[in-house]
């Protein structure tokens, strides 16, 4: 493998004629991208095979030439896979490394492969092929995570916990309802990534450097061979815009932002103060000094890694900003942020898909937490409304009852009926069932509500949508 030293073929082999002196050794390293864009090698080879087949079909290459190109590319693919490939800095990037090696291997036919093509449409094609595969893998992990979340939700349609606003106890909910909220976020992420995949799935090949080519190419053929839905429509746009990479990173940043919110909740819930869940040991680490510690490193790290994906999104937006048409070398900078967005998002999803279904909810402690903080105060107000009070008046009555409880260190349901009636005379014996946690959640029995029956059917519907 190349170490970037300068004792290899000089750049003038590749763009020969025009130059009077070889490229400066540092400039050669500075402008090279083979150290990272080799991640595109398999896509580059795939694109070259499609291009060669098309050139053959339109009579620009002979069958023999096409065959030896494919044979040479087979060898190159194996060399790269087995790390035997001699990457050369003088050959700058993945495209020229592969092409130059091809010519070494098969001679003149190798030199013909670049007919009617430029690295500009080549790289635009490679990135789209790469990203399409990456999105498919991400969607697979996302689906695995969603499936685990929905199953856990279905198992916890009766598990009562406090619902929060401002991280203060608000109203009781069931744990399954909370989990299905996570699933809603992820389902939208799935939709955004699928949209992005669909929009990027067009083939730039044939745009050549920027204006198209003088050869009688068949763009429909290369597009179809590579599984694109159509060729792109404008050659200038085809080689220049990286909006698809930005769009992907935006979708990835939002997905990571959702994972970071879930992470935050997992961290809080697994603390001794909350004690709502147990995260299995295999997803946690210890402390080198404090023997008692079990730290939720996985969710913390996912929360932290969200920052890099957000950063890459801004990097890509800034990279594209103000670029004139058509291709500019700036675009070589699209790869590292994009690759890291893909790798980070995949790793985080994998960790979550493994970890989330393995967490154990601690129903007793969730329930205990729901009993403090007057979680059923709204239920009492609603009860008074059903007995004829206007909601604002009911709100005031309950506020006074809560203030009394705070002073008396009591809960609403522990007050004697007589005391409760002191706040309003319409209050009767039937008040006690609406003050229970079970009564409170069961009463929110409508589409999108936290009633266990609603959560059970929401989980079934979510699972069905996942399987479509
Ligand atoms: N390595 C280049 C990139 O990633 C390939 C395209 C180079 N084109 C050019 N005209 N210099 O963008």
Measured from the Cα of 119, ligand 1's closest atom is 6
Residues 349 and 406 in one domain: no
Describe the crossing of helices 119-155 and 335-355 by its angle, rounded to 10 degrees: 20
Domain-terminating residue out of 319, 350, 367: 367
- DSSP string of 194-245? HHHHHHH-EE-TT-TTTT--SS---HHHHHHHTT-SEE-S-HHHHHH--HHH
**Do residues 217 and 287 both lie within one domain?**
yes
pLDDT on residue 3: 43
Co-location of 231 and 302 in the same domain: yes
Greatest CA span in the chain, whole angstroms? 102
Tell me: the pLDDT tens digits for 116-151? 999 999 999 999 999 999 999 999 999 999 999 999
Residues 108 and 129 in one domain: no
433 shares its domain with 356: no
Q: What is the pLDDT of residue 14?
A: 67
- Identify which of 93, 95, 333 to mutate to test ligand 1's pocket (most ligand atoms within 8 A of the CB): 93
Q: Are residues 184 and 280 in the same domain?
A: yes
Same domain, 111 and 198: no
Write out the two tokens for 3.
């170490």
Residue 13 confidence (pLDDT): 63
Distance (Å) from CA 120 to ligand 1 centroid: 6
Range of the domain at 28: 5-115
158: left (phi over 0), alpha (psi -120 to 50) or beta: alpha
Q: How confident is the model at residue 468 (pLDDT cuts 50, 70, 90)?
A: confident
**Spatial distance between the Cα atoms of 430 and 81, rounded to a whole number of angstroms:** 73
Among protein residues, the one whose CA lies closest to atom 4 of ligand 1: 332
Structure confidence at residue 4 (pLDDT):
41
Q: Whose CA is nearest to atom 2 of ligand 1?
A: 332
Distance of CA 325 from the midpoint of ligand 1 (Å): 14
- Which atom belonging to ligand 1 lies closest to the Cα atom of 334? 4
Nearest Cα residue to atom 10 of ligand 1: 120
Query: Does the pLDDT of residue 111 top 90, yes or no?
Result: yes
Q: What is the average per-residue pLDDT within 56-72?
A: 98
pLDDT at 235: 98
Confidence band (pLDDT; 50, 70, 90) for 458? very high
Q: CA–CA separation, 345 vs 81, rounded Å? A: 24
Spatial separation of the C-alpha atoms in residues 339 and 308, rounded to whole Å: 12
Ligand 1 atom at minimum distance from 335 CA: 4
- The Cα-based distances of 14 to 2, 90, 201 in angstroms read 18, 9, 31
Cα→Cα distances 196→61, 139, 453, Å: 35, 12, 36
List the one residue out of 127, 133, 145 whose CA is nearest residue 33.
Answer: 127
Distance 221 CA to ligand 1 centre (A): 24
CA distance 428 to 425: 8
**Structural domain count, the chain:** 3
Report the b/e string of 441-462 with b at 16+ CB within 10 A.
Answer: bbbbeeeebbbbebbbebbeeb
Q: Are both 384 and 320 inside the same structural domain?
A: no
Judge if 59 and 171 occupy the same domain.
no
225-275 per-position pLDDT tens digit: 999 999 999 999 999 999 999 999 999 999 999 999 999 999 999 999 999
The reported pLDDT for the residue numbered 286 is 85
d(CA 433, CA 68): 82
- Per-residue pLDDT, 1: 39
Residues 254 and 145 in one domain: yes
Q: How many residues does the chain have?
A: 468
Taking residues 303-309, report their average pLDDT: 98
Q: Determine the distance separating the centroid of ligand 1 and the alpha carbon of 238, expressed in angstroms.
A: 13
Average pLDDT for the chain: 95
Residues lining ligand 1, Cβ inside 6 A: 33, 37, 93, 119-120, 123, 327, 329, 331-332
CATH number, domain with residue 380: 1.10.40.30
The residue out of 315, 347, 367 marking a domain boundary is: 367
CA angle 7, 13, 14 (to 5 degrees): 120
* pLDDT exceeds cutoff 50 at 6: no
Percent share of the chain, pLDDT over 90: 93
- Whether the pLDDT of residue 27 is over 90: the answer is yes
Asked, as a colleague might, if the bond just before 326 is cis with ω within 30 of 0, I would say: yes
Q: Whose CA is nearest to atom 11 of ligand 1?
A: 329
**pLDDT tens digits for 392-445?**
999 999 999 999 999 999 999 999 999 999 999 999 999 999 999 999 999 999
C-alpha 91 – ligand 1 centre gap (Å): 12
Boundary (domain end) residue, out of 74, 98, 115: 115
Distance 92 CA to ligand 1 centre (A): 9
Q: How many percent of the chain have pLDDT more than 70?
A: 97
- Residue 231 φ/ψ, nearest 5 degrees: -75, 155
Q: Check whether 348 has a pLDDT greater than 70.
A: yes
> Is residue 248 located within the same domain as residue 156?
yes
Mean pLDDT, residues 347-354? 98
The number of the ligand 1 atom at minimal distance from the alpha carbon of 33 is 1
* pLDDT given at position 260: 98
Catalytic residues: 166, 287
CATH of the domain at 65: 1.10.275.10
Ligand 1 mutation target, pool 18, 332, 333, 339, most atoms within 8 A of CB: 332
Atom 3, ligand 1: residue with shortest CA distance: 332
**Residue 267 shares a structural domain with residue 384:** no
- Which among 43, 89, 92, 119 is the best mutation to test ligand 1's pocket, defined by most ligand atoms within 8 Å of the CB? 119
Residue 320 CA, ligand 1 centroid: distance in Å: 15
CATH value at residue 325 = 1.20.200.10
381 pLDDT more than 80 = yes
């Amino acid at each position: 493998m190349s170490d970037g030293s300068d004792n290899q073929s000089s750049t003038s082999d590749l763009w020969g004629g025009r130059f009077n002196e070889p490229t400066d050794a540092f400039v050669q390293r500075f402008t090279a991208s083979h150290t990272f864009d080799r991640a595109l090698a398999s896509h580059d080879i795939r694109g070259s095979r499609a291009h060669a087949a098309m050139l053959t079909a339109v009579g620009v290459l002979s069958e023999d030439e096409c065959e030896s190109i494919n044979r040479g590319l087979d060898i190159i693919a194996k060399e790269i896979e087995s790390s035997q490939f001699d990457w050369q800095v003088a050959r700058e990037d993945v495209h020229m490394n592969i092409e130059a090696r091809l010519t070494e291997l098969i001679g003149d036919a190798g030199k013909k492969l670049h007919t009617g093509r430029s690295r500009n449409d080549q790289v635009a094609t490679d990135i789209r092929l790469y990203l399409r595969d990456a999105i498919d893998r991400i969607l697979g992990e996302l689906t695995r995570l969603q499936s685990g979340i929905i199953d856990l939700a279905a198992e916890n349609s009766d598990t009562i916990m406090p619902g929060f606003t401002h991280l203060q106890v608000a109203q009781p909910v069931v744990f399954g309802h909370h989990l299905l909220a996570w699933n809603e976020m992820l389902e939208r992420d799935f939709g955004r990534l699928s949209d992005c995949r669909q929009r990027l799935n067009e083939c730039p090949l044939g745009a050549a450097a920027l204006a198209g080519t003088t050869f009688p190419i068949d763009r429909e053929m290369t597009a179809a061979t590579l599984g694109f839905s159509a060729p792109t429509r404008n050659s200038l746009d085809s080689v220049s815009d990286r909006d698809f990479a930005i769009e992907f990173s935006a979708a990835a940043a939002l997905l990571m932002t959702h994972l970071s919110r879930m992470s935050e909740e997992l961290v809080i819930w697994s603390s001794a103060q909350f004690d709502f869940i147990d995260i299995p040991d295999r997803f946690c680490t210890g402390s080198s000094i404090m023997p008692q510690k079990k730290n939720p490193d996985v969710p913390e790290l996912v929360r932290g890694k969200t920052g890099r994906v957000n950063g890459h999104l801004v990097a890509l937006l800034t990279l594209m900003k103000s670029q004139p048409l058509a291709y500019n070398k700036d675009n070589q900078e699209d790869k590292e942020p994009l690759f890291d967005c893909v790798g980070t998002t995949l790793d985080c999803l994998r960790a979550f898909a493994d970890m989330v279904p393995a967490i154990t909810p601690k129903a007793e402690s969730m329930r205990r937490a729901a009993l403090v903080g007057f979680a059923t105060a709204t239920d009492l107000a609603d009860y008074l409304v059903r007995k004829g009070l206007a909601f604002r008046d009911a709100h005031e009555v309950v506020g006074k009852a809560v203030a009394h409880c705070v002073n008396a260190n009591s809960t609403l349901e522990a007050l004697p009926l007589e005391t409760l009636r002191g706040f309003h005379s319409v209050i009767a014996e039937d008040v006690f069932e609406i003050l229970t946690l079970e009564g409170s959640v069961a009463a929110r029995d409508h589409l999108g509500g936290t009633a266990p029956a609603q959560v059970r059917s929401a989980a079934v519907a979510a699972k069905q949508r996942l399987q479509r």
